Each structure stands twice: as C-alpha cells, then as structure tokens.
C-alpha cells in the first residue's frame, strides 16, 4: 500500500493554505520545486510578477525557436539537423516525403518519433504500422526501420542515449488512468509487410557513436516471418490520452508525463477543461524548475499561456530562473478565464543542461526574453 507519514510545511507571513489556489490579495505565487515537481517545494507570494524583469544580460535566458524555418529535408533521419542535446538525449527534427529506399538502425539509443505533420507507413523488423499526425512511435535501440510517406512528414526524433523509454508509475490512479495500455499498438506481420519483402539490393545505415556504417544486402532484411517477446515498436496517439483534470486545482506538468527515460521525461499536454473553482489558478504557475531544463514543442491549438507562439515552434527555459504565463494570459485568466484549453504540446524536461545546436540557434527568436514585460516597460 502506498502511504506516507503526515507532515506539515513551514508557514511564514501571508500565504495561501493550498498551493495554486486562493492567493493573498494582490500577490503572485512562485513555486521553488525540486526534482521536476516530485520533490520538496516552497510557494512564495510576491508583490510583483516573478517574471517582471526589464533587462537581461548573460547566457541564461529563455529561448523560442521556430522549427518551421529549419531546412531539414533529408532522405535519412540520421542526417536530420540536431536542435538540442546533452549526454542523455538528442533532439532532431526531420522533414521528408516519399519512400525511403534504405533502412536505418540506431545503435546509440532508443528513438521516440513524434509525428507533427503528415502520414504514411512504418516498416520495421517487427512488421508494419500506419502512422498519422499526433502519433508517438517508440523505436527500441537496434531496430531496423524505414517509412513511406503518403503526406509530407515533419517529425521530432528524440533519441534516448542512456536506457530505454518506459511508462510512468501512475500510483493511486491505477494502471488504466491517462491512457490504458490497451490503446498501445504494435507492428503487424500483415499483407503490407509481406508485400514489401523482395530480393532487391537494400542498405541498412547503422548509427553508432554518431558515425554511420552502411551494410548492403542482396535482399530486403525486413524478411521476418514471425516473432514473439515484449521488446518492440509501440504507437500511441495523443488523441488516446485522457488527461488528468481537477476543477479546483491546477495540476503540475508532471501529471501529464507520458514516457520516462534516464535523465529526462516526455509529457503531453492535450485538450482539457480549465479549472472552474473561483480561487484556483487557471494558467501555468510561476515556478523555478531548479533541477531540470524545460523544452516545449507546440503541436497544435491555442497556446493560452504564451504570446506569439505558433505550431511548430519551441520554447526552451533553462533551469535557474522563474518563468510562467505571459502578462496578457495571466490578466485574461483573472478577468475573463477560458473554460477549455484547446492545445497539444510535447514537453521534454531534462535533468542535465541542454546545449543549443546550430540548427536551433539559427532560428532563435531574439526578442522572446522580453515577452514577459508589460506594455510600456523595457
């Protein structure tokens, strides 16, 4: 039985009885949390917004990147430009169309493919899967695969360089909450898979230690006739995620965790009702995520806590400073709150600091750090 001893946090001065609810009049709450919302936390109430800076000097600043502007059309995903990276993960984006005439195999890590745009067929050692926009495809290390795009594809490739992708422990919610494992799909040895087997010359491009080795066969190596086990490609679409909601309390991002890896987590924000309790915060709270860098890829919808962010863009908030909703979003949530959050986004929280690759640096939105300033300031 999961349980913990009763303990009481320290209280000083004017503060709310419940985090993210019923703030003292005229104050702004800021959460200082550890271990990505899972560890100890303190909630401080400020007279002014914690993001009310008027100047910024130095490398530690928030970034926004327009991934739509990165030239990333390649026939091979291993040639896709590197956007963000550290020792645990590599984030690439890949745009492609048509039919791959070779196979790829990543021997450096597991890959998580998120299909931002497009559709097509995915062929791998384990069989065939169709894919569409909004799909996650979990590809275990060592799997040979290729795609045939029926519509132009724009995808994220999130390489887990140290371990395997796993599911979060759902605790008191039980195993069927958020998404039931029954919605997960795996490749099938169907007619489409059998039809693509041939005796023509095929290559497998293998990535190991970030170098490519090409192995040529006089036949298609995707020639499996049967298999058994529990290490395989898995498909999950955001439309099958049923997010946790609370009408009285704004849940932290950790409640939307989809996959867990060594050194980072992947969360999915999907459409949901907005909190209806009068005292509950209705936008993301100001917070210091002092152990994790935060990356958010905006897939579709109305990004209600951000100004001038469009689908296909990315925000990057390194740990070490407070961030939260933009002033207009916060004001609207207080005066005329929405009743429904219609957005889909993929969040990656990393335990180690991220490096910005050349591809992302080239599409950095320079004025993003000033976007929290109220009109007339700066």
Q: Mean pLDDT lowest for which of 7-11, 114-118, 145-149, 264-268?
A: 7-11
pLDDT digits (tens, 9 = 90+) for 69-87: 999 899 999 999 999 999 9
Residues counted in the chain: 378
pLDDT digits (tens, 9 = 90+) for 222-250: 999 999 999 999 999 999 999 999 999 99
Say yes or no to pLDDT of 197 above 90.
Answer: yes
Q: Buried b / exposed e across 37-74, counting CB within 10 Å, b at 16+?
A: beeebebbeeeebbbebeeeeeeeebbbbbbeebebee
C-alpha Rg value of the chain to the nearest Å: 22
Say yes or no to pLDDT of 264 above 60.
Answer: yes
C-alpha–C-alpha distance, residues 48 and 305, integer Å:
18
C-alpha–C-alpha distance, residues 45 and 281, integer Å:
14
Asked whether this chain's domains 28-65+244-372 and 72-238 adopt the same fold, the reply is yes
The residue extents of the domains of the chain are 28-65+244-372, 72-238
Kindly report the pTM of this predicted structure. Answer: 0.94
Helix (H, G, I), strand (E, B) or coil at 120: strand
pLDDT digits (tens, 9 = 90+) for 104-120: 999 999 999 999 999 99
Q: What is the pLDDT of residue 325?
A: 87
First to last CA, the chain: 54
What is the pairing mode between strands 264-269 and 343-350? antiparallel
Q: What tokens does 141 get?
A: 């290390």
Domain topology for 28-65+244-372:
Jelly Rolls (2.60.120)
Q: What is the pLDDT of residue 377?
A: 47
Query: In CATH, which of 3.30.2010.10, 3.30.70.360, 1.10.274.10, 2.60.120.10 is domain 72-238?
Result: 2.60.120.10
What is the pairing mode between strands 144-160 and 103-106? antiparallel
Q: What is the pLDDT of residue 305?
A: 62
**CB neighbourhood size of 303 (10 A):** 24
């Amino acid at each position: 039985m999961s349980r913990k001893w009763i303990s009481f946090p320290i209280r000083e001065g004017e503060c709310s009885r419940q985090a993210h609810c019923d703030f003292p009049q005229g104050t702004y709450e800021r959460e200082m949390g550890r271990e990505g919302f899972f560890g100890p936390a303190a909630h401080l109430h400020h007279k002014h917004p914690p993001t009310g800076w008027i100047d910024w000097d130095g490398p530690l600043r928030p970034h926004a990147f327009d991934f739509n502007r990165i030239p990333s059309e390649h026939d091979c995903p291993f040639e896709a430009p590197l956007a963000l990276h550290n020792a645990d993960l590599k984030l690439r984006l890949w745009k492609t169309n048509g039919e791959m005439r070779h196979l790829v195999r990543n021997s450096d890590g597991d890959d998580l493919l998120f299909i931002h745009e497009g559709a097509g067929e995915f062929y791998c050692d384990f069989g065939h899967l169709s894919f569409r926009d909004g799909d996650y495809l979990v590809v275990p290390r060592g799997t040979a695969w290729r795609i045939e795009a029926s519509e132009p594809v724009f995808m994220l490739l999130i390489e887990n360089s140290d371990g395997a992708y796993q599911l979060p422990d759902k605790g008191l919610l039980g195993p069927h909450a958020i998404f039931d494992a029954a919605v997960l799909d795996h490749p099938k040895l169907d007619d489409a898979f059998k039809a693509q087997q041939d005796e023509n010359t095929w290559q497998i491009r293998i990535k190991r230690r970030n170098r490519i080795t090409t192995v040529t066969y006089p036949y298609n190596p995707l020639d499996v006739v049967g298999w058994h086990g529990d290490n395989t490609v898995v498909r999950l679409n955001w439309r099958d995620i049923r997010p946790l909601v609370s009408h009285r309390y704004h849940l932290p991002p950790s409640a939307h965790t989809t996959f867990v890896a060594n050194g980072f987590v992947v969360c999915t924000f999907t459409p949901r009702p907005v909190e209806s309790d009068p005292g509950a915060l209705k936008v993301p709270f100001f917070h210091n995520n002092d152990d994790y860098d935060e990356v958010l890829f905006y897939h579709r919808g109305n990004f209600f806590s951000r100004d001038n962010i469009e689908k296909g863009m990315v925000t990057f908030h390194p740990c070490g400073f407070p961030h939260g909703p933009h002033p207009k979003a916060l004001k609207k949530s207080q005066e005329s709150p929405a009743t429904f959050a219609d957005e889909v986004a993929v969040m990656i929280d990393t335990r180690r600091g991220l490096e910005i690759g050349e591809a992302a640096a080239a599409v950095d939105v320079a004025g993003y750090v000033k976007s929290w300033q109220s009109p007339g300031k700066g």
